[in-house]
Amino acid sequence: MIKPGILASGISGNLGFLVDYLVVAGGGGGGDGNSSGGGGGAGGLRCTVTATGGGGSLESALVLSAGVNYTVTIGAGGAGSNTGAGAAGNNSVFSTITSTGGGFGGAGGGFVGVSTNGGAGGAGGGAGGYGASGTGFTGGSATPSGQGFAGGNGQTGPTNYRGAGGGGGAGVAGTAGSGATGGAGGNGVATSISGSSVSYGGGGGGGENTNGAAASGGTGGGGNSQGGGPSLSGTVNTGGGGGGGCGSSNSGGAGGSGIVILKYPDTQTITIGGGLTGSTGSPSGGYKVTTITAGTGNVSWA
């Protein structure tokens, strides 16, 4: 009888096996630029267990073969900025699955600058806070769809009310800035692929005017904005977005790096190739779980 998770491939008598995965990309960096910067968007999240990003249906497990190399890349988080928009996060990859880096947080214009929209990504970055009366700026979209949600818009209003938008999360959109206060980052998604429920992919909190209140990052590693110093970075290996900067001397936070987690039958033994950092837990319930936290390289099974 075939054990759960093992499939007969019918190719030269070899067996294929199912691999569940969590692939989270690097989060986007928070913006700044003389005023309130948008929070960075979370890295795109694709998962076959519990829930996936963007509110869609669960991804499908991959049927893989022993003795074949499969590429893994852990996306780095984007840099935060003190002079403009943050940087987008970097993609994470496992085999044919690519999760898209989080969108950058937009620049905050302040009294003299020009605000910018948030960047598109796995989850969109929040828009910078507007520096004068008029039309506010727009949070970045979740592109491609199915990995996260959009970033929040910047505040529309007088010069001294310029809260920036929060970065989008894997599970919830970022909140728009309101008055002098930045919008909260969108919450991430919890998955139990590792054996316990852990959240990933929180958006960064939007930056605030010096008269406003700091904004929280989303659950799953999103960085908070804060007015008393540089805003917080997204948590490492969660794909969380960096918090938006608050004022010309306080930079936006960097995005958190991504992660890849693989769950497969305990009859298989994985080899983690050079260039990758990872570890495999003890077998449990007929499966093994391997967590890869950094690098680019190959994995294979035997």
Amino acid 110: pLDDT: 59
Rounded Cα distance, 181 and 93, in Å: 36
Amino acid 272: pLDDT: 98
Q: Which two tokens stand for residue 14?
A: 């070899």
Closest C-alpha to 138, from 156, 123, 118, 124? 118
pLDDT along the chain (302 residues), means of 10: 39 72 98 87 98 97 98 98 94 98 89 76 93 74 97 80 92 93 96 98 91 88 88 97 87 97 98 98 97 98 97
HEC string of 12-39 equals CCEEEEEEEEEEECCCCCCCCCCCCCCC
Rounded Cα distance, 248 and 134, in Å: 22
Amino acid 60: pLDDT: 98
Amino acid 3: pLDDT: 39
Residue 299: domain span? 1-302
Q: Domain total for the chain?
A: 1
Closest C-alpha to 142, from 116, 115, 171? 171
47, 101, 213, 257 from 51: Cα distances, Å: 6, 19, 32, 20
